[in-house]
């Protein structure tokens, strides 16, 4: 079967956070302002909002998502505290990997349709990917199809939007469960991206259709599939 489309994971595949914000930093800010919020509770609320609330409601910016996190913690922060928290998270630098633009250029020259599949809210990373957005056919985040990435629906709806069968598409990503096993169960091919040189098990190596070190190798591997 001819490959007609390639889908990409986001975090660890196309972008990374150069200066991530820790729950402790956010907690320290809240505690200093008189709010009784500590790292574990903040992390739990953030995860819930990211994976459950965002697919339902689709927050458009940091401020909206942070307000929802605080609501989950039964906290109604004053405007100045909300502004400080928003600035804190906005300073997290979502950064494009250097091989992304070349990979998308090659994919389009091959006539492939392209997609990003992620739960992460697009407002967080869209600016980092601005140079390749014109080469992107579908950007499926958690809100696009109202589900997070472990739900097969996000892949099935992406394939439907790309107008390809599962057997005509390849997923590229760095997570064995979400980027390799799940797409393959649906009938897709899957390429494991190992940027960090992790020692994957022999079983993992059998499960992936190919293992590559960067996106240029991933595009080259497509021709072999």
What ranges do the domains of the chain cover?
Answer: 5-16+95-224, 21-90
Question: In this predicted model, which residue has the larger pLDDT, 33 or 223?
Answer: 33
Question: Residue 22's pLDDT band (boundaries 50, 70, 90)?
Answer: very high
- pLDDT at residue 116 greater than cutoff 80: yes
Which of 97, 96, 95, 101 minimizes the C-alpha distance to 219? Answer: 101
pTM confidence score: 0.93
Least confident of 58-62, 159-163, 206-210: 206-210
Which of 218, 116, 107, 215 minimizes the C-alpha distance to 158? Answer: 116
5-16+95-224 has CATH 3.40.50.700 classification: no
Q: Are 12 and 195 in contact (CB under 8 A)?
A: yes
Mean pLDDT of 32-49: 96
Average confidence score pLDDT of the chain: 94
């Amino acid at each position: 079967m001819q490959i007609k489309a390639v889908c990409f994971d986001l975090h660890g595949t196309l972008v990374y956070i150069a200066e991530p914000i820790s729950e402790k930093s956010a907690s320290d800010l809240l505690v200093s302002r008189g709010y009784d919020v500590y790292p574990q509770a903040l992390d739990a609320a953030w995860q819930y909002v990211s994976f459950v609330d965002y697919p339902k409601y689709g927050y458009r910016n940091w401020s909206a998502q942070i307000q929802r996190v605080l609501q989950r913690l039964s906290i109604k922060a004053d405007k100045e505290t909300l502004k400080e928290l928003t600035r804190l998270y906005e300073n997290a630098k979502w950064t494009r990997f250097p091989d992304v633009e070349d990979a998308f250029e090659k994919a389009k020259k091959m006539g492939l349709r392209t997609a990003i599949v992620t739960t992460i809210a697009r407002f967080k990373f869209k600016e980092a990917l601005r140079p390749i957005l014109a080469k992107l056919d579908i950007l499926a985040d958690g809100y696009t199809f109202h589900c997070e990435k472990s739900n097969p629906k996000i892949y099935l709806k992406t394939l439907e939007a790309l107008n390809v069968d599962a057997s005509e598409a390849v997923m590229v990503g760095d997570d064995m469960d979400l980027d390799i096993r799940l797409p393959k169960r649906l009938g897709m091919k899957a390429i494991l991206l190992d940027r960090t040189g992790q020692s994957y098990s022999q079983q993992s190596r059998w499960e992936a259709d190919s293992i590559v070190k960067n996106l240029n190798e991933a595009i080259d591997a497509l021709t072999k599939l």
